[in-house]
Amino acid sequence: MPQFMYRGRDQSGQLRTGQRIALSVDELNDVLMKEGIIPIQIVAIQSPNIRWEKLKSWMQGKNVKLEELAVFFRQMQLLHSAGVSIIVAIKQLASYTRSCRLNQALLGVVGNLENGQNLTASMQNYPDVFSPLMINIVQIGENTGRLDQAFSHISQYIEFELTTKKQVKTAFRYPIFVLITIIVVFIILNIFVIPSFSRFYSGLQMPLPWETTLIIGVSHFFVEYGIYLSLLILLGVIILIRYTMTPAGSYHWHKIELRLPIVGRLLQHVFLIRFCQSLAIILNSGISLATGLTLAKNSMTNTYIKGQIAKMQEQIERGMTISQAIEKVALFTMMEIQILAVGESSGELSPALSYIANFHTQEIEFELKRISDIIGPVLLGLIAGVILILALGVYLPIWNMVNLVRA
């Protein structure tokens, strides 16, 4: 988005200047008027490297990476603990970051801070960079005078998210690579290799083994109808994607997703870790349980899980304890419900949630190891079976022909 420099006067007649990011001059004018600043001049900032910055921003994408946010909040915690002012700290970190989007957002936050806004209100102007969870934790930190702890809690949460995502990616990297390799080899064999053998064998006046007949038949079907099959699969994928974009479709798909063999259990662990850890951090930050549940719910990407958390909220609003509300939804085991009940009754709900999150982290490590142990041999067996069928299908007719010649 373009950046503008503005001059104006507030209600007391004091001159206000600064830089803001907005879609247009009119939008910035409206924003300033709402803040009680009457604009005198708004000028677009022209940079000599504007084309390069636009290209760089486009290549980096619209979203700021979690890694960059984790580094930013960790460094903010260190600088603030060392006594560096918020404005100076953000300016320094803005000059160091490689992300154009984060740099623009941080400069905008600095401009707002210099004009008298607090950090929470300044961050709220950039919802595509700072999530509601981050903003609420910062707000509590500002109100209690413990911003360094707020920054620490946010960086811990982001780092936990990154660790979980890394574990899942590591587990599925090898199987996905092998599956893609199998698909590519299958396509090459059916389009280029097997048809040449098929033409050779069609000239022989001799019966072919069933293995060879099967391979030639599959290759013929793939060559003749492969395009139509691909279009049909593509159409099915498009219809499925469009369906999952609807509220009902998203809910049903995410519910099925959690019941898939092998993958479903892993995903459920991931979502429960995210929910428990985020809620624990939120409660540690001083945010109320009602607001914390809303923030934790909004951090979920699974619509079905969101629906279950919404049911929990309804039960809590009716007067139930959190352990009683959790018992009404099919997300936690009885052991975990008992842990939460003990934590709630003793006023230690946040440590209880962290304990459950750590338990599911250990379960995820076990599940990932189990998946790797299962998928590896299965894929190797599948590859060996395909190679065996191909070898028999290609060479059995030759062996039969040699035997006929000898006879």
CA separation for the pair 15, 31 (Å, rounded): 17
Domain end point (choices 90, 115, 130) = 130
Residue 53 lies inside a defined structural domain of this protein: no
**Residue at 334 is within a domain:** yes
- Position 142 in a domain: yes
Secondary structure letter of residue 65 according to DSSP: P
My answer on whether 337 and 392 are in the same domain is yes
Same domain, 147 and 245: yes
Whether 15 and 36 share a structural domain: yes
Indicate if 8 and 155 belong to the same structural domain.
no
Per-residue DSSP letters for 191-239? IIIHHHHHHHHHTS-SPPPHHHHHHHHHHHHHHHHHHHHHHHHHHHHHH
The one-letter amino acid at 261: P
* H-helix segments, 82-146: 86-96, 100-114, 119-124, 132-144
Q: 284 and 407: one domain?
A: yes
For the chain, give the percent of residues with pLDDT over 90: 12
For residue 358, tell me if it sits in a domain: yes
145 and 31 part of one domain: no
Same domain, 69 and 10: no
Confidence label for 238 from pLDDT (cuts 50, 70 and 90): very high
Lowest mean pLDDT among 73-77, 146-150, 207-211, 304-308: 207-211
Q: Which has more confidence, 272 or 25?
A: 272
Indicate the angle between helix axes 349-406 and 210-244, nearest 10 degrees.
150
Strand partners, 20: 4
Q: Is residue 51 scored above 70 in pLDDT?
A: no
How big, in percent rounded to 5, are the helix, strand and coil portions of the chain?
75, 5, 20
The pLDDT value recorded for residue 23 is 63
Is 185 found in the same domain as 90? no
Is 75 a domain residue? yes
Number of domains in the chain: 3
Write the pLDDT tens digit of every residue in 346-392.
888 889 998 998 888 888 878 777 777 777 787 788 778 878 877 77
pLDDT digits (tens, 9 = 90+) for 88-126: 999 889 888 888 888 888 988 988 888 888 999 899 888
The answer to whether 185 and 214 are in contact (CB under 8 A) is: no
For residue 79, what are the contacts with CB-CB under 8 A and spacing of at least 6?
A: 88, 89, 92, 93
Examine the domain organization and report whether 344 and 406 are in the same domain.
yes
* In contact, 334 and 268? CB cutoff 8 Å: no
Query: Is 258 part of a structural domain of the chain?
Result: yes
pLDDT at residue 70 tops 60: yes
* Domain membership flag for residue 52: no
CATH number reported for the structural domain that contains residue 353 in this entry: 1.20.81.30
pLDDT, residue 171, reads: 64
* 55 within some domain: no
User: What predicted TM-score, i.e. pTM, was given to this entire model?
Assistant: 0.65
Tens of pLDDT, residues 325-350: 888 888 888 899 999 999 988 888 88
- Say whether both 112 and 151 belong to one domain: no
φ, ψ at 301 (rounded to 5°):
-100, -10
Residues 147 and 256 in one domain: yes
pLDDT of residue 2: 66
Q: For residue 79, give its domain range.
A: 64-130
Q: What are phi and psi of 2, to 5 degrees?
A: -70, 155
If asked whether residues 364 and 221 sit together in one domain, one would say yes
What was the pLDDT predicted at 204? 67
